[in-house]
Structure 1
Amino acid sequence: MAGTAHPGVDLSGSTAVVTGASRGIGLATAQHLAAAGANVVLTARTQEAADAAAAQVAGPGTAVGIAAHVAHEDEARACVQRTVELFGGIDILVNNAGTNPSYGPLIAQDHGRFAKTFDINLWAPILWTSLVMDASMRERGGSVINTASIGGMGHEAGIGMYNASKAALIHVTKQLALELSPRVRVNCVCPGVVRTRLAEALWKEHEQAVSSATALDRIGEPDDVAGAVTFLASDAAQWITGEELVIDGGQRLGSPAGFREETRARG
């Protein structure tokens, strides 16, 4: 998808950085932001992947790919500096990059998996927010959006480490919203099961079952999340900060099957 128009949302003249933008939610977010008029920098681990992603973005603004491992401070700093050189500043930061290298009980995990999960899912958003503050947002203000998860709001077998990192990110979002107020707004989106490579284990072999257990009867698409991020980045959300926006089609509500049967019986 090349991007979706957002009536009433105009990001013309603004510049956004989207981490982990080579595919999935990150790429869709870059496409939506560009369609709303923003200049967009897409990061990926390699320059080839970043360039390929940028080539898929069309809009009134300019899309540029820059290689940067989100947890490597020197690469992150260079990306932020290059963005400021190209566009004069940064107005929107989308901390989207995430990983889940661990599966199983927490007590079965090793330090390597713990460190990788928390470095990318938690430390990187703090790092990039600090860098864009120093480079631009402290003076001009802006909006930071973190990609958390509904997993950070509950407990599930097998992905406790990932969910712990996302729970921490929700907490950090609120902390940063206070620390960076009033010039910078900080919010997070909490997707449910979305059709991405990172979440394949949650849907690929049993998509119909997941859809049937979802109130809106389907799993999410990256565009569903990207539209919400674009809203939070815009002036339409100018009095919203420190919030977690759940985008899950009603998955946290539980299965709708019994409720539908009751409604049909009364109909």
Structure 2
Amino acid sequence: MSAPYRGTPFDLAGTLFDLTGKVALVTGGSRGLGAAIGLGLAAAGADIVVASRDLESCQRQADRITERTGRQAMPYAVHVGHWDELPGLVHAAYERFGRIDVLVNNAGMSPTYDALEEVSEALFDKVVGVNLKGPFRLCALVGARMAAGEGGSIVNISSGVGVRPRAGVLPYAAAKAGLNNLTVGLAHTYGPSVRCNAVVCGTFLTDVSRHWDQEAFAARAATFALRRGGQPEEVVGTVLYLASAASSFTTGAMITVDGGQP
């Protein structure tokens, strides 16, 4: 996975992004960015492990992946913030496919609050658990097996607030800042055979965005270079780049995909 790409310029399109024979585990994979990412990686040839808290949602997405791409897809219900549940996920993936070549830590949560002093310890711990503790645990479990085998690629889905925090999402911003730091550390921990990178996402229009104050978002989006929020499919190209041989000399990197947010 991390070996230098040896193809010629004439076969780049055909092989550089090809994931045939690879297996990708995508957390938060049943909806939103995770659903788009799983479909995109499957379209490039990978078999997919769809992981999220709700098994029925995972099964529906797994069926959708197989119907649209012909690739195998395994649903698995897991709470990423629960430390002791994650070894079972990894074991099940290796039991089914015998390998994990790409780990996409996409699962996340960002609850809002009216005032910082109203943030409870339980809420803080839950946000950090899903956005930082879970990815740390999965990276350790999967990264070690990748390094001992044929290598692989870890892609952490981060957020621009991890770099430019906003008042209304400080626990989430702190967790994503930690994820950015973890990304760099993992690149050195498991290199050279395992690469680890982060996609620093801006505002994407998923099912969650339907509940936003649309006028307030429109005013904020007017400050973006592209003047809009992103569609989930617009993150897929960056993840595919980081998952494939196209990024064979890219590790410890933060790639921003935010439509030009100030």
Matched-pair identity in %: 38
C-alpha contact (below 8 Å) 1:41/1:66 kept by paired residues? yes
Segment of structure 1 superposing worse, 66-75 or 122-131: 66-75
- Please say if residues 148 and 169 of structure 1, whose CA atoms lie closer than 8 Å, have aligned partners that are also in contact: yes
Mapped to 1, the partners of 2:151 and 2:248 lie a distance apart of 11
CA–CA separation in structure 2 for the residues paired with 1:137 and 1:50? 28
Find the aligned partners of 1:138 and 1:123 in 2 and give their Cα distance: 23
1:53 aligns with 2:61: yes
Q: How does 1:1-267 map to 2 (within 5 A)?
A: 8-57=16-65, 58-199=68-209, 204-252=214-262
Q: Distance in 2 between matches of 1:210 and 1:46?
A: 32
- Measured at CA, do residues 109 and 6 of structure 1 come closer, stay the same or move farther in structure 2, by a change above 3 Å? farther
Report the number of matched residues.
248
What runs of 5+ residues in structure 2 fail to find an aligned partner?
1-12
Deviation at 1:227, TM superposition (A): 1.8
Cα distance change on mapping 1:205 and 1:233 into 2, 3 Å = same
SS in 2 for 1:64: strand
Contact 1:193 1:199 in 2 (8 A): no
User: 2:144, 2:190 within 8 Å by CA — same for their partners in 1?
Assistant: no
Q: 1:128 to 1:6 in 2, by over 3 A?
A: farther
One-letter identity of the residue aligned with 2:171: M
SS in 2 for 1:75: helix
Q: Which residue of 1 aligns with 2:3?
A: none
Deviation at 1:203, TM superposition (A): 6.2
Q: Which amino acid aligns with 1:101?
A: P
Kindly provide the amino acid, as one letter, of the partner of residue 23 in structure 1.
R
Identify the range of structure 1 (89-98 vs 199-208) with the bigger mean alpha-carbon deviation: 199-208
Higher relative contact order (CA 8 A, sep 6+): 2
TM-score, normalised relative to structure 1: 0.86
- CA offsets per residue over residues 179-238 of structure 1, 9 Å max, x none? 111111000011111102445566644443343222112211111112211111010001
**SS of equivalent to 1:251:** coil
Structure 2 Cα separation of the partners of residues 205 and 138 of structure 1: 51
RMSD: 2.0
One-letter amino acid of the counterpart of residue 36, structure 2: A
Do the aligned partners of residues 171 and 142 (structure 1) sit closer, same or farther apart at CA in structure 2, a change above 3 Å counting? same
- Superposed displacement of residue 84, structure 1: 0.9
Q: Do the aligned partners of 2:16 and 2:245 also contact (CA within 8 Å) in 1?
A: no
Gaps in structure 1 of 5+ consecutive residues: 253-267
Q: Relative to 1, partners in 2 of residues 1:236 and 1:74: Cα closer, same or farther, differing over 3 Å?
A: same
Contact 2:196–2:251 (Cα < 8 Å) also in 1: yes
Q: Is the 8 A contact 1:17 1:93 kept in 2?
A: yes
Distance 1:54-1:200 versus aligned 2 partners, 3 A rule:
same
